[in-house]
Structure 1
Amino acid sequence: MGVLVLRFDDSLDTVLGADMATPFGAQSAWRQLTDLVGRGRAADVAEAVTRLRSIRAMVPAPVRSASARSVAFAAPPAALVRLFGEDEPSIAAPVLSTAILDADDWLAMIPELPAASRSLLRHRRDLPARAVRALDSYGAADFALPQPDTRVDVSVELELELVTLAPVAPVAANDPAPVDPTGPFAIAELVARLDAYQRDHGDLNTPPRKLDDAPAIPAEHFCFETDASGTIRWVDGVPREPLIGMMLGAGPVRVDGVVSGAFRRRAPIANARLVVAGQSAASGDWQVSATPAFDTINGRFTGYRGVARRPRMDERAEPVRGARPAAEAFRALVHELRTPTNAISGFAEMIEAQVLGPAPDVYRERAAAIRGNTRELLDAIEDVDTAARLDQNALMLRPGVIAIAPMLSRAAADLEPLMRLRGAVVDLDRGPAGLGVAGDEIAVTRIVNRLLSLVISASTAGERLTVRAMQEGDTMALAIDRPRAFAALPGDALFALDSEDQGEGAILLGAGFALRLARRLAVELGGGLAIGEDCLTLRLPAALDHDVGQLSSN
C-alpha cells in the first residue's frame, strides 16, 4: 500500500510573518515577496501584493529597480505587473516592456497606470488589439500639458465678451440693460477669434496624432530638457510623443556610459550616444551634448538642458554603409580560424623541437609538415582578413619608409624552400642604393611576398625568373618576370585563376585572389599593379631611405 505525502509550501507565510518595520526588514521582504509572486510560488498573490504596496515607500528605488529586472522575464501575474507599472518609469520599464497578459488584464490595468507607464506600453507592438485601442483612448489625456491651478469658466468668458462687444441701445432708467448676442459686430469678432485660434493651435476636435503617423523623414537635430530624475519634460525639433515622459537610459531611450557617469556626477555631457527606438522621426542614433541646470536660490540640481544631432559617419558605431554583407562574416571567420591554427602550429613546433621529450624522426617530420601547412593556412587567413578590411574601409595603414634591397633579400630567403620544390631560380636586381618605398611596411611586404610566391609556384623545373627594382621618377617600380605557365593568359586574364590547380606549392586561395589582393593593396598605398606581356610591374611611391640619403632624381 503506497503512502501519499502532501507537501505544503509555507514560504509566503514565513515572509509575511517577518519584521518589516525596519528599512532592512522591508527591503528583505520586498525582494523575497517579488521573487515568490513573480515566479508563481505565492499561494495568495493578492495578500502578497497588498503587503508589497504597503512597504514600497520604505524600499529604495535601486532595490525596486533590481527586483523589476529580476522578474521581467519570469511571466509575473497581472497584480505584480500593475504594482511595478505604478512606480517610476525606470522601475516600470523592464516589467511593462516584457509582461505577457490577457487582454482583460490589460484593460483592467491601463486606467490605473500613470501616463508615463502608458507611454511605455505604446512602444510595444505585441499587445492585444483591445489593449492598443484602450491606450489610444488615453492619448489626448496623456499628452496634454499640465494646466495652471486657476480655472477659467469658458462660457462665462465668452458671455462677458458678448456683453462687452455688443452695441448698447439707449434704454429707460428703470429697464434692465439689454444684451444683444446676435449683433453682427459681436458674432463676427468671435468667429474671427476662433478661426485665428484654430489656425495657430490646430483644431480642438482633431484627435492627437499617433506615433505611427509621425513623418517618415528623420529629423537632424532637436533640443530637450530633463528634470532632476532624467525624465524628458520638453523637446523641440522632433515629435514629442516618443520622448516626453521618457527617462534617459530606460525604455525606448537608451544612452551610453558617458551619460550615466555624467548624470551621477551632475557633470556636463559631451558627444554622448543616445538611441531612440521606434519608427518616428526621432528614432535612430543621436550625438547628445547637455549642461546641468541648478536652482539659482538653493543650488539644487534641476536637470539637463541639451541638444542632439545625428552622428557623422566617423562617429557611428555600426559598420560603414556600403560595406558588403559578406565582409563582416569573413572577419568573424578569420577570428574563429586564427586561434586554433596558431595553437596547432605551436604544438607541432614543440614536437619538432622535442620540447615535450624525445620524439621519433617520423613524428618530427610529420610535425614539420604540419607546421608548414599551418603557416600557409595562416597566410591565407591573413589575406582573407585583409580583403575583408578593404571591403569595410577598415584597413589601418601606418606610414613609414621601407628599404627595397633588404626586403627582397628576406623574401627570397623565405621562399627558398618553394624554389627548391619547383626547381626554379630567381635572380634579384635590387636596384640603386637607397631605393625605398613610402607606405605601411606590413602591407608592402605582403604585396611583394605574394607576388613572388605566385610566380615561383607557377614556374617549372629549370625556369629562371628575374625580379628587378628600379626608380621611375617619384615611383619605385618592381618588375617580376611572368612564368611560362602564364603565357597563354594575356592581360587581366590572370585574375581568373582562382580555380586553377597549379600543382604542389600553389597559392592556397588561388592566383587570381592573390593578384586582386595585391592590386587593391597597391592602390591603397597610392600605387598600382600592371599586367604586361612579359612581366608583372608593381609601382609604389618612392621615399627617402634615412640610412643612405635622398634618392636620386635620375
Structure 2
Amino acid sequence: MFFDDRLATVLRQRAASEAGARTQFRQLLDILGNRKFARQDNRSQSLVAAAWLRMDKLAEEIPAEHRAGMIREAGWRFRSADLAAHLAEHEPDVASAALNRAQLSSDDWTALIPRLPVRARGFLRLRRDLPVDAEQLLDRLGVYDRGLPRPAQQAADDPTDREPQTDQVAPPAMEEATDPRQEPVVENEPPPFRLADPAESGRSEISALVERIAQFRRTRDSAPTDTDRSPRLPLGEVAQTRERIIRGFGFSADVAGRIDWAESEIASMIIGTRLIRPQTLGGNEDETALERAFARRQPITTAKFSLQGAEAIAGEWIVDAQPSFTEEGNFSGYLGRFRRLGGAGDKHLSPAAQEADRIRQLLHELRTPVTAVQGYAEVIQQQLFGPAPHEYRALAAAIAADAARILAGFEELDRLAKLETGAIEIEEGVIDLSAIVARITNQIGQVLRARMAGIDFDADAAGAVLVGLDPDDCEGLIWRLLATIGGLCASGEMLFATIETDDGLAQLSCGLPANLIAEEDVFAAEAKPVDTAINAGLFGAGFALRLARAEARSAGGNLTVDDELVTLTLPLSSSFEDQSDEAENQRSAR
C-alpha cells in the first residue's frame, strides 16, 4: 500500500443513522489509534484535524457509556498519544476507558501526562503497568493513589448512629478527615461495624463493597470452626452439605495389589485398599476373576469389585486395568480405572453393551484434545490475543472447521452407542411425516437438479400422516436417511419415495441408488456422497443408515432394506389413528 487513504474514505461517509454513527466512531478509533501521522505532512494534519472534529460531533450523538464500551473492546490497537489526549477531554467514563486502554511507549507517556487535564491524571493511578518514568512523573505532579475513606470511630461508638440518619449534614468520617492533626482513637475491642449507605455518605459502590468484604472476613475469623470449610457469603442461608456419588476414577496399584495412587478427589477414600486378598499357603479356592488376572499379570477387563467405606465410593464397581512393567521387565503393578456398576439390569452386561460403554468412554477422552485444538484455532483466526497474518488465520479457520467435523462425528458415534444400549430413547410427540419428507426432498432436489438427479415424492397423494415422534428427532432421522440416499445418486438417476399407513405404522419407502445396490451389506457400506454439498455423516453411508435404524427402533419402528428398496417404519400418532378409525366408520356407515 503506497497511499493510505482510509481516513479520507471514512471522513467522506455520512453517518445518517445511529448505527452508522457507531460504526464511524469505531473506524476513527481504529485508524487514529494505530497510526502516527507525520507533522510535516500538511494533508495528513488537515485530515487529523477534521477527524477530531468529526469524533466530537459523533460524541454528541453516542452516549458516553457506549463510547467507553467501544474503547474497551479488544479488537483494535490503541498506540496513539494524540488520541489518548483527545479522549481525556471527554466525559469521565470515556477518559477512564481511554487512559486504561492505551498502550504507549515510555516517551509517549512522559510527553502525554503533562498535557492531560488534572481530573484525568488520577485515572492513570489505577494502572499497574506504567513505565517507571511515567510513575515518577505522576509522583512529581502530586498524583497519588486513590484511597477509600476510613470508617469513623466516633460513629461506631455511638449506638444511635448505627441506623441511617436523614438529618445528618455530613458523615462523621468526613468530619474526622477535616482535621489532619487529630489522632485516631484506638480501642481495645473493635467497634461494631456498620455498612454505610453510599447515597448517605457520598461514597462509591466500590467502597461499600470493600467494607462488606471486610465485615465478612471479621465475622468468618471470629466464628466457631465449622465442618464445612468452603467460604460462604453471610447471606443468612443454612449450610447443607451434600455427598456427591463418584461415578469413576483412575488408580494405580503396587505389586501387592494395594492401591497407591488415585485421582485427587478420591485419593483420601481409596488409597490403601487391596484389590486382592493376601496369599495363603493352600491358595484361595474361590479365586475371583480379578485375582486370577492379577496373579498371571494379565489385563483386567470388566472385573467386578465391591468397595466398602464412604458413601461416595461404597457399592459395586467394574475394574479395567493393564499391568505395568519397569524398563528391566519387572512387574511394577497395575494402572486402570474404576467405573460404577449401574442398577440390577446392568449386572450382566452383554458384549455389545460392554463395547458400547468402552466407545463412550473413549469418545469422552478424545473430545477434550479436539475441543482444545478447536478453541486455540478460533483464537488465532479471530485474533483475540493479537494480530496474526492472514495466511495463519486461513489455516486456523481450516483447522477449526476440521475439528468441528470431528466433534460432529464423535456425537454420531456416541448417539449410536447410547441408542443401541438403551441409554437414550427417542422422545414422543406429533409431527406430519409427509410434510417433513416433502420439505427435505425439495432441499435435496435443489442441489441434485444440476445433475438431473433427485428424489421424487408426491406429498398430495400421501396426504397428512402424523407419527408419534418428537419433531426435532423425526426431522433429523428423515434428513439422515434421505440425504444419505440422495447424496449417492449418480447423474441422471431419479429415485421415488412413497408413504403408506398399515396396522398403526407409517411406511416410508424409497429406492436405493446404484452405488448402494451393488453393496453386499448396505449397513456396512463405506460409499461417500457424490456431491459434497449433501453429506449425512462423517463415516459413510453404512454408518448413517445404521444410526437411522437405531433411531427408528428406539422410536418403536424399524429400517429395513429389501432388494432395491429401503423402508422406514414409524409408529403413528394416537390422534391420527383415532381420526382414521372415525373416517373408516363413517365410510362403513354409508
Question: TM-score normalized by structure 2?
Answer: 0.36
